Amino acid sequence: MKRETGSRQKRAVTAIALCLIFSLASLGAIEVHVDQSVSQGSILTVAIEPNRDLLSIFESSSGLRSVEVELIAPNGNTHSRTEAFMIDDAPGMWFALLGVSSTAATGPYTVRVRFLSDRFGVEERKSVDVYPGVYSEMRIALGRSLTSLLTEPDQQRLDEARELQRILFTVRSSAVYHTDVFVMPVEARRISAQFGDRRTYEYADGRESTSVHWGVDFAAATGTEAAAAGAGRVVLSRDRILSGRTVIIEHLPGVYTLYYHLDSLAVSENQMVNAGDLIGEVGMTGLATGPHLHWELRVAGQAVAPLRFLEEPLLDTAEYMGTMSP
C-alpha cells in the first residue's frame, strides 16, 4: 500500500510539473536571442535566458539534465546540434554556438532550444534565415602518389575519418577555455587557399573528383613555427594519412581548431595550451602539394570561416547582457 501511495504521489508531482512546464512555455519561459540572418560558413550564436520559475521546477523535480540546441534546416533535418553552456561573465544565461556549413541550403531555418530533465522538458523556437556565401573555384593536379592517397582503398584512412567525425561532434558543456579573439597560428601572411573553395582534383590517371576546402591554407616554409590560435585542450596530436601530422584543440563546447600537414608535433593529447603556444612546425605531410599550414575551425561539427575571429571574439557576452530581463 505504501509503495502504491508513493508511486501515485510521484505521478501527481510529475503531472503538476508538466502542467506548469507547458504553462510557462506559453508565457515565454525561455528567452532566446539570435540574429535574424546568417551566411553560409558562419557561426550562429544563441543566447538563452530561462525564467527563474522554470529553473525552480527543474530543481524541485529530477534536476536539469541538459540544454540542447539545434539548427533545423528547411527540409526538417538537423543541420547542427550542440549543448548550451554557462560562463562566469554572464550569470543566469546559457550560450550555444552552432556552425552553418558553407554548403548549407539557403532559406529559413529554425533554432530549437530544449531544457530537459529525465522526466520532462520545455522548448522554445526562433527563426533564422541562411543566405549564400561567396566562394571561389580551383583545380589541383595531383601526381601518382597523392592520387593513390585519395583513391586506393585503405582501412586506416576510413578509421581515421570516423575518429575525426567522433571528435568534431563531441560536445562537452564543461569545456569552456577560450571566448576571446584568436591569434594568428603562423607568421606567414600569404593565403594559398581560402575557406570554402570548391575544388576539382585532377588525378594522375585522368579521372577527377570534387571537394570543398574546409579551412584556410597559409603558405609558409617548412619548419616555420605553428601556434595554438586560442587556449584549450589538445584532443588529437598524431600523424594521419590525409592530413599528415595533425593537431586538434578544443576551445569551447563543440568548438575546435585543426592544424594539418605539420612537419613536427610539439604537444601531446590532453595537454592544455594557451593562445600562441607552440604546437609544431609547418610542413607538407599527408595530402599536400607544398609546405603550408591548413587551419580549420569546426563548430558543432560544421566547418566555418575562421579568419573573422582574428578580429572578433568567439563569444561576445557583453553583446547580450543588455537583453537580459530584470
The H or E element spanning position 261 is: strand 255-265
Q: What are the residues facing 30 on neighbouring strands?
A: 50
Asked if 195 and 307 count as a contact pair (C-beta separation under 8 A), the reply is yes
Q: CB within 8 A of 66, min separation 6: which ones?
A: 83, 116, 173
pLDDT digits (tens, 9 = 90+) for 177-228: 999 999 999 997 799 999 999 999 999 999 999 999 999 999 999 999 999 9
Helix, strand, coil percentages for the chain (3-state, nearest 5): 20, 40, 40
Please, which pLDDT band fits residue 26 given cuts at 50, 70 and 90? very low
pLDDT attached to residue 1: 47
CATH number for the segment(s) 2-133: 2.60.40.1930
Q: Using the predicted structure, report yes or no on whether residue 288 has a pLDDT greater than 90.
A: yes
Asked if 40 and 106 count as a contact pair (C-beta separation under 8 A), the reply is yes
Helix, strand or coil, per DSSP, at residue 218:
strand
Spatial separation of the C-alpha atoms in residues 308 and 19, rounded to whole Å: 45
All cell numbers assigned to 261: 600537414
φ, ψ of residue 238 to 5 degrees: the values are -165, 175
Q: What does pLDDT average to over the chain?
A: 89
The size of the chain, in residues, is 326
Lowest mean pLDDT among 19-28, 83-92, 253-262, 301-310: 19-28
Angle subtended at Cα 101 by Cα 279 and Cα 275, rounded to the nearest 5 degrees = 25
* Percent of the chain's residues with pLDDT above 90: 75
Q: In terms of Cα–Cα distance, which of 40, 57, 218 is closest to 134?
A: 40
Angle subtended at Cα 172 by Cα 168 and Cα 175, rounded to the nearest 5 degrees = 100
Please, which pLDDT band fits residue 121 given cuts at 50, 70 and 90? confident
pLDDT attached to residue 22: 47
Spatial separation of the C-alpha atoms in residues 273 and 247, rounded to whole Å: 12
Helix, strand or coil, per DSSP, at residue 65:
coil
Spatial separation of the C-alpha atoms in residues 97 and 95, rounded to whole Å: 7
Average pLDDT over residues 279-289: 96
Q: In terms of Cα–Cα distance, which of 8, 289, 46 is closest to 147?
A: 289
Q: In terms of Cα–Cα distance, which of 125, 80, 113, 112 is closest to 98?
A: 80
Same fold, 2-133 and 137-310: no
Instruction: Match domain 137-310 to its CATH number in 3.30.1050.10, 3.30.450.20, 2.70.70.10, 3.40.50.970.
Output: 2.70.70.10
Spatial separation of the C-alpha atoms in residues 120 and 15, rounded to whole Å: 10
Asked if 304 and 297 count as a contact pair (C-beta separation under 8 A), the reply is yes
φ, ψ of residue 303 to 5 degrees: the values are -75, 130
Indicate the pTM of the whole model.
0.89
Spatial separation of the C-alpha atoms in residues 168 and 161, rounded to whole Å: 11
pLDDT digits (tens, 9 = 90+) for 49-72: 988 777 777 777 777 888 999 999
Going from N- to C-terminal start, the domains of the chain cover: 2-133, 137-310
Q: Using the predicted structure, report yes or no on whether residue 116 has a pLDDT greater than 90.
A: no
Q: What are the residues facing 255 on neighbouring strands?
A: 252, 299
Spatial separation of the C-alpha atoms in residues 242 and 245, rounded to whole Å: 9
pLDDT attached to residue 322: 55
Spatial separation of the C-alpha atoms in residues 135 and 133, rounded to whole Å: 6
Average pLDDT over residues 68-93: 94
pLDDT attached to residue 2: 46
